[in-house]
Chain A
Amino acid sequence: MLSRTADHLYWMSRYLERAESLARMIDAHQRLSLVPRPPEAVAQGWQATLVSLGAAAAFFGRHEALTARSAFDFLAFDRQHGGSIVQCLRAARENGRAVRGTITSDLWETLNATYLESVSFTPAMPESARGEFLEWVKYRAHLTRGVTSATLPRDEALHFTRIGTFIERADNTTRLLESRWRDPGGHGERLRAEASEWAVLLRAMSAFEIFRRLYRDSVTPQRVTEMLLMRDDLPQSVHHCLDELQTNLAAVANSRSDETHRRAGELHARFHFGRFEDFCAEGLPQFFDHFQARLRELGARIADDFLVPAS
């Protein structure tokens, strides 16, 4: 497969995953807004999300006040902000368009239809329809993954698509957790995240029922975090994402990718053989920082080995 083709497939699935994850992040805030809370807590929650996305500076460059509405508009509809949902859907479609000859027409038409529909979503959208918009994003992401899985042959195209999906998901899951652990003002742990916020997070991740079944116990920050980091049988968990990353990297291995594969294995081993208590002892915010840096490094190595190799 052409390196450039692999590159487009990888980014196509990363952007799609990112759009979905953004929808889930926003959804968590929307759900929380139904619980009576002081306005500072609402703003602090959004602030934490923007910081975890690395988008706080961009936000305050375009908005004076952080409100639920302005944050929603910025993360969902802002066409000047490359990290918004509509821009991610557009980027997924543009990457798909660049390889429309390689992917199946079913997949291309799904991406294209998603983009064409997304054009009609703007900040003018009434409050009442906003929940449906988030549902729509999740639905389109589910649909696209389904079409991918049902129509792409089990070859390199699928492997690179999966590598993109799981590296992005691992990253997003840690950002979602991080935003609940970190005090957006300073660098310490954020102690004020309420229990209801963790339950809402589970619901936004479509993991609430699973949590109940697995723990049969009350929702605590530690349990939720442990589950979303350590379980190898949950599609949302970091451990599972690293399993998939390992498998798919092994399937596309080439003459220069040994070191990348080794590092992915090393990172995977921390989750496979490591203990959650040790991560906590390290300090979860520090742990997240460290993990995301390793993931970025892996992304760069994948690019060098496969996607944009120097000749």
Chain B
Amino acid sequence: MRVSPYDEMLQSGGTPRPHCRDYWGWLEEQSQECLARKRSEADALFHRVGITFAVYGENSGTERLIPFDIIPRVIPAEEWSRLEAGLVQRVRALNAFIGDIYHGQEILRAGVIPAERVLCNAQYRPEMQGVEVPGGIYAHIAGIDVVRDASGSFCVLEDNLRVPSGVSYMLENRKMMMRLFPELFARHPIAPVEQYPDLLLENLKSVAPQGVSDPTVVLLTPGMYNSAYFEHAFLAQQMGIELVEGQDLYVLDDVLYMRTTRGPRRVDVVYRRLDDDFLDPLSFRPDSTLGVPGLLTVYRAGHVTIANAIGTGVADDKSIYPYVPQMIRFYLGQAPLLENVRTWILSDPQDKAYVLAHLPELVVKEVHGAGGYGMLIGPAATATQLDDFRARIRAHPERYIAQPTLALSTSPTFSAAGVAPRHIDLRPFVLSGREVAIVPGGLTRVALREGSLIVNSSQGGGTKDTWVLGC
């Protein structure tokens, strides 16, 4: 069962892949001390700049750094352009799917996806039925998690279409690398990423309600104790838009306003970093103090654009994920350029029987889980953990899916023991407005513990700069 993983930088035998030859040569010339010094320099800078995240469940207000690895992950340009085409195709299909679900539901009538899987899904929002959104775009910002399997080909592990985060780390990691190793940027044709905030703002403006010529865009944050607050403040600053909390906004006569020192000001586009449930206490969770009472009414009247739209969770749910390749065929009439990871849906009796019989080889995830919490990694689990999951699956099969344990690709990483391979994934950010745009690269997350497959920052994961070389 154990397959040796694909290494991003080295071929079998330890020689560098052609696109990394130059970098690897440089790395081999660097002393351990020099690398260690660069790493502590990076840590000190991140602390001073306050690039930290809050960890839930720990003492409130605890701020931690996401560990940053000073060795980049490198993708050659021709591989990137294939990946990019696959991502564009996938996000187009996902947007078409959400639009269809909230309108004619052709895909359900055609029997491609069982209707109850969509309509009984907690992420399906009946409030969105028949609502027109500008350009038919729902997932304006998508973070698509891709991994390489043992053969070296990219496949999609997860679509994040609600409030995907991490893009600030992509940008800050790049800034940090340029600061630590300017000489590398002079030697390598590394595709820039710093245009992301401009693209995002352009994108958000392009989906403003019809007839608004100079739209006011705001970023709605749950506040400074949210784990991603740094990113919210960072993006708002980079785009030059107001960073607002629910208490700064109010609704009057179907129009959304913010409270300013000069009186009320109309808001046209809300880039929200708040889950659906908290957006409007009148329509969703009544105990939410983070949202804006009446926002949904303004939205349904077409007087404000919310990005991402309400109800996109119906398309990135783990129980819907297995159908994305069919969506691509159904809406675009194309063969998928990017594969899914084989997925067993445990509410299916056949799948369930297979999974229960092969549990020690598989990864089991909660359908509604996220952040690497509540998952079972079969090969690493104890007998008690396996029994526990067997019991849970038997009791509530519909809450789980299973996937093979992937031999995620590795990349050389600077560890306590020197440069050593660690497993990584990649989250590129796909922007959909009038056009679909992706900055070359994305956020590479790395599992810093030797052999670990969990890259989530809440579970000891770190990040790397991602280089697309030779664009």
Contact = CB atoms under 8 A, between A and B. Distances in A.
Contacts of A5: 242
A311 B50 contact: no
Interface string A246-269: 000000101100000000000000
A103 to B, nearest CB: 9
Nearest to B50: A112
Nearest to A104: B237
B224 interface: yes
Nearest to B264: A311
Interface residues of A, number: 28
Interface stretch (B31-39, B244-252, B339-347): B244-252
A4 B248 contact: yes
Contacts, number: 63
Interface in B241-265: 242-245, 247-248, 250, 252, 257-264
Contacts of B234: 101
A255 B263 CA distance: 8
A116 B250 contact: no
A99 B236 CA distance: 10
Nearest to B262: A254
A109 B261 contact: no
A6 B259 CA distance: 11
Contact of B224 (A98, A108, A113, A116): A98
Interface string B47-65: 1111000000000000000
Contacts of B236: 101
B266 to A, nearest CB: 13
Contacts of A105: 49
A4 B259 CA distance: 8
A190 to B, nearest CB: 42
Contact of A113 (B48, B244, B248, B258): B48
Contacts of A6: 261
B224 A2 contact: no
A97 interface: yes
Nearest to A160: B261
A97 B50 CA distance: 9
A252 B261 contact: yes
Contacts of A116: 47-48
A108 B50 contact: yes
B260 A3 contact: yes
Main secondary structure of the interface of B (DSSP, over half): mixed
B233 interface: yes
A252 B263 CA distance: 12
Contacts of B261: 1-3, 6, 156, 160, 252, 254, 306-307
A309 interface: yes
A31 interface: no
Given A101-B243, A105-B49, A109-B49, A3 B259 contact: yes
Interface string A300-311: 000000110101
Nearest to B239: A101
A98 B236 CA distance: 12
Interface in A99-124: 99-102, 105, 108-109, 112-113, 116
B259 A101 contact: no
The residue among A4, A5, A306, A307 with the most chain B CB atoms within 10 A of its own CB is A4
A113 to B, nearest CB: 6
Contact of A2 (B50, B250, B252, B258): B258
The residue among A3, A112, A306, A309 with the most chain B CB atoms within 10 A of its own CB is A3
Contacts of B258: 2
A309 B233 CA distance: 23
Contacts of B247: 4
A268 B193 CA distance: 53
B260 A2 contact: yes
A276 B257 CA distance: 49
Nearest to A109: B48
B259 A112 contact: no
Contacts of B237: 100-102
A109 B262 contact: no
A116 to B, nearest CB: 7
Contacts of A311: 250, 252, 257, 259, 264
Interface in A1-54: 1-6
A203 to B, nearest CB: 33
A3 B49 contact: no
A4 B218 CA distance: 14
Contacts of A255: 263
A257 to B, nearest CB: 9
A113 B50 CA distance: 9
Contacts of B259: 2-4, 309, 311
A2 B248 contact: yes
Interface in A291-307: 306-307
A5 B260 CA distance: 9
Nearest to A113: B48
Contacts of A156: 261
A8 B49 CA distance: 19
B268 to A, nearest CB: 16
Contacts of A109: 48-50
A27 to B, nearest CB: 28
A112 B48 CA distance: 7
A207 to B, nearest CB: 34
A105 B237 CA distance: 10
Contacts of A94: 224
Nearest to A311: B250
Interface of B: 47-50, 224, 233-234, 236-237, 242-245, 247-248, 250, 252, 257-264
Given A113-B48, A254-B263, A307-B261, 9 more contacts: A4-B259, A97-B224, A100-B233, A101-B234, A109-B50, A112-B49, A116-B47, A252-B261, A309-B259
18 contacts: A2-B242, A2-B244, A2-B260, A2-B261, A4-B247, A6-B261, A97-B50, A98-B224, A100-B50, A105-B49, A108-B50, A112-B50, A116-B48, A160-B261, A252-B261, A254-B261, A306-B261, A311-B259
